Structure 1
Amino acid sequence: MKENSIDITIINKQVLESLTAGLSGIDKDSAIKSGLSKGGEIIKQGGIRRLQNRMRAGPGGKTGNLLRSFTVRVKRDKPGVLAGFKKGKNGGNHSHLVDLGTVERIRKHKSRKRGGKGGRTGHATPNYFWNDTNELDKNKAMIEIRTGIAEFVEKVKAKCV
């Protein structure tokens, strides 16, 4: 999940402190995680939407493996969220190939005895769904994080009163 993830980290600690002022440590942590989760979901939904629009339809495409592998994870220790793809079986290990494409490759050996058929392997055209999601949805996610934290704080303050 590291190479194909969009990492959103809160840099301005003063804004975070002003948003969560007056809350206990546990409530602060919950508020931050709630906001980060909402921001990560914005990135995830944008990626899914762009991938569905740009994928090839019909029998040669759209199996849904990459669509099912989208994931959002809030960091445990530091304030941050990771939006990316699951690894392993039924994971999105090939997301970078779909996003950035591949170049045409030539097989070295033509003889079957030497372990190959020879010939050429075609290129995959890039569709840049994840790069575009990073550029277009990152600011929306930051705004959603801020509003998510503010909503959680208001909800907790309303409970205390």
Structure 2
Amino acid sequence: MRQFDLSPLYRSTIGFDRLFSLLDQAGAPESATTAYPPYNIERTGENAYRLTLAVAGFGEADLSIESRQNGLTIKGAKEARKEGEASDVLYQGIAARAFERRFQLADHVQVTGARLENGLLHVDLIREIPEAQRPRTIPIGRGAPAPVAAPKESAKESPKAA
């Protein structure tokens, strides 16, 4: 049960919809279906990240990764067994159920690659901030400030009152 109400914020703010929906999702209880498959998020560099999902039993053909705007969706679905294949499973401890896991990405975060290795799906991400938005240092000069150009008066201005 969520202990705070965001509805007053929805009414009085503009442009923060994504932030409030993330807060709503964070406050919602996590059910067993959303906890599968387990995952890790690790920082591999200053602007590099790796998302690792435990997808034992899934092959490359069973998985799909889609990056759209500020979201990353990873889906897994195994093909149903054919009727000709008979198998007596005495105990099934490895989950093979279909899943869909969604992640919200920050601005300027891009997926650079993915690989499946030993039952782990590794998705590499990098944050590339555009040059115009990167912080820059402004040198502090000594001496007189640079002259400010005064606006030029045009001859077409209204005549002066005498």
- As a proportion of its length, which structure holds more helix? 1
Q: Which fold has the larger relative contact order, with Cα–Cα distance below 8 Å and residues 6 or more apart in sequence?
A: 1
Considering only CA atoms, is the larger Rg found in Structure 1 or Structure 2?
2
